[in-house]
Structure 1
């Protein structure tokens, strides 16, 4: 039997990082629990202090097929390279012509840089672009391949 799971990303500003990843993945903000029209209404009804409303966030695949991703506010900054990261697979695979792969990788990279990502490194193999190593607005690593 499988276990339902979600990925959680530690961060300082869950709302900011969640918005970035909505852009990166085509996800949407997760709906509030059943019975509430908004998260604000849910927080209010549960007497959550307003200064805690950005302690977490969640995004979901709008088609419901892929796992949700949660963002949890933590006090400490990231100090070392991630041991787990996402690879955004946009190039179409190695069977695609290299010039198309590179166009797709660069187009997505440019969109994410405009959305707040930072380029760490362009990774090449045999003098051709293989992937981009990027970081989200809080320094969490991911790749565009």
Structure 2
């Protein structure tokens, strides 16, 4: 039986990182449970103290086809290079100059949201289509592909 996948990020500011990735991917912050107008109202009703209300957040695909992204607060900062990373498919059907121009435009947009650009890799046919390595606002590596 196939399984669904949730991608979990350890981070320092779950709400901010969830907002970044929601905007980056066209996702939305997960709605509060039924019966609550907001997450703050739900957390208040559940007795979660204010200092723990940003311990977790989630972003979801509004169409329900992509994986849920879950963000959990951890005390330590990022220490080393990611062993697993996301590839944001910003130009999957483009090649050459058109592909790299689309990736550059997306890198600029995400930089405006708090991402940082690391390195551009030029197309190297036949295997390499070209990509740009970025970091999210907490330093997690991802690629624009």
| 3-state SS in 2 of match to 1:34 | coil
Which sections of structure 2, spanning at least 5 residues, go unmatched?
A: none
Deviation at 1:119, TM superposition (A): 1.0
Deviation at 1:129, TM superposition (A): 7.5
- Cα deviations by residue, 1:98-121 (Å, 9 ceiling, x for unpaired): 121011101101000111001111
Q: Which moved more, 1:57-66 or 1:119-128?
A: 119-128
Aligned counterpart, 2:82: 82
Aligned counterpart, 1:23: 23
Aligned counterpart, 2:104: 106
Q: Which moved more, 1:131-140 or 1:4-13?
A: 4-13
Looking at structure 2, the residues matched to 129 and 112 of structure 1 have their Cα atoms a distance apart, in angstroms, of: 20
Looking at structure 2, the residues matched to 138 and 74 of structure 1 have their Cα atoms a distance apart, in angstroms, of: 12
TM-score w.r.t. structure 2 length? 0.92
Looking at structure 2, the residues matched to 102 and 40 of structure 1 have their Cα atoms a distance apart, in angstroms, of: 42
1:1-145 matches, within 5 Å, as 1-93=1-93, 96-126=94-124, 130-145=130-145
- Kept in 2, the 8 Å contact 1:122–1:129? The answer is no
Deviation at 1:126, TM superposition (A): 4.0
- Kept in 2, the 8 Å contact 1:15–1:56? The answer is yes
TM-score w.r.t. structure 1 length? 0.92
- Cα deviations by residue, 1:75-120 (Å, 9 ceiling, x for unpaired): 0111111011110111134xx3412101110110100011100111
| 3-state SS in 1 of match to 2:23 | helix
Matched residue count: 143
Which sections of structure 1, spanning at least 5 residues, go unmatched?
A: none
- CA RMSD across the alignment: 1.7
Deviating 4+ runs (over 6 angstroms): none
